[in-house]
Copies of this chain bind each other. A is one copy, B any other.
């Protein structure tokens, strides 16, 4: 269950202005539910919580179990953008921060950058471990994952031999066509499908997210159940629908109050990468045609001693959305100390989680007083079920929000611009004219 609290915006917005944006949100909701808006060939994500077949999960578990049987303790997941952020977000949110249980493989990510140092170090680790690889690419020709996979494939083939290497590689790619599909068929890789009607940033509940999350040892059934619960909640046409309320309020704060930046705030370092997933979802969905709310993030209380000063007293250009978790998974009580030099005895017997909750509440009040509107999106605890719910909540609200803004939430035309220039500079065949043009500009 995902709850949204917008009380921290009340002193900043008028009731009639909110009603106006609520109406816009209800219209956008209808567009999203009816599937008759821009980008409506990319609405496959809406039904994933209900339509994901049990066989998909058991196929993922079969890979996990087979790799376990041959002693795999490192899985390199190759992918970029939406083929990277959801899985990493989930695995970081659910994993122990420092210790990996010996029965689970370490899951690391590659092919999401062109850093030579990074890729070299991935190969160092691969050489020390019993290694397998999941390569995720719809086409198989995106530069970053293709460069990483060419290297890792060759390494696995040399180390384990071609047949054995093919058992250590799973491809998640187009169902029928493309370079990676062709290669997978030829080499006999197991494959999973990137659905045609789900864009990268909405793909965490497809095999793109599910397989890495299963390999890392987490319960995807619970994640899908959490998403399904939230799907029912946010699919109601009602003014107390939390997705409608979040989408209406953020657009109101942007359009009427001139807030240019939304900061996603968390109070648990495990959720730092959740904010990265959210930034892609909102930034890439809304940042078009000169529009959009700039998505930023902080992890508190650490960043109260970093960005906190700016948020409290700097340029008044932002509002905050706090993703809060009501109950910790672990409990630590603060002890009593005879000397009490640190003056903490007044907290003796309290849990650290209680202090965190009071920091959150105190910050909320301080920031409202400082002119920063606050929303809160809360779940009961940090586990697969609630994480699935958060994924679905923010995806659905994003669709509504972009439609309010008059933007197609499901395309990303601007992502090609750097690629074209990079291909020209790298003298890719077919780009001869662009190469000539760009070299003149240097």
Contacts and interface: CB of A to CB of B under 8 A. Distances in A.
Interface stretch (A29-37, A245-253, A354-362): A354-362
Interface in A350-383: 350-356, 358-359, 361-363, 365-367, 369-370, 382
Nearest to A182: B341
Interface in A220-253: none
Contacts of A331: 116, 120
Nearest to A125: B98
A423 B183 CA distance: 61
Interface stretch (A16-24, A48-56, A60-68, A136-144): A136-144
Interface in A297-336: 299-302, 304-318, 328-332, 334-335
A183 B122 contact: no
Interface residues of A, number: 135
A325 B377 CA distance: 39
Interface string A116-130: 111111111100100
Interface string A145-159: 011011100100000
Given A125-B98, A292-B314, A301-B80, A117 B270 contact: yes
Contact of A300 (B113, B261, B308): B113
B140 A341 contact: yes
Nearest to A183: B341
B314 A268 contact: no
A425 interface: yes
Interface stretch (A188-196, A206-214, A413-421): A413-421
A57 interface: no
A304 to B, nearest CB: 6
B306 A81 contact: yes
A97 interface: yes
A270 B417 contact: no
A412 B367 CA distance: 15
A310 B287 contact: yes
Contact of A356 (B114, B289, B310, B351): B114
B359 A422 contact: yes
Contacts of A288: 309, 313-314
A260 B370 CA distance: 18
Contacts of A335: 150-151, 154
A179 B341 contact: yes
Contact of A363 (B149, B267, B332, B418): B418
A291 interface: yes
Contacts of A314: 283, 286-288, 290-292, 294
Contact of A337 (B150, B344, B419): B150
Contact of A342 (B141, B344, B428): B141
A46 interface: no
Given A310-B283, A414-B312, A179 B355 contact: no
Contacts of A419: 362
A442 to B, nearest CB: 8
Given A98-B121, A305-B280, A350 B426 contact: yes
21 contacts: A81-B302, A96-B124, A98-B122, A98-B125, A99-B128, A113-B301, A117-B330, A143-B355, A150-B337, A150-B342, A179-B343, A182-B341, A260-B315, A261-B261, A288-B313, A294-B317, A347-B426, A359-B422, A361-B425, A362-B419, A363-B421
The 10 A-B pairs at the shortest CB distance, nearest first, are namely A287-B310, A287-B314, A81-B305, A362-B421, A312-B414, A120-B330, A362-B422, A280-B306, A116-B328, A114-B356
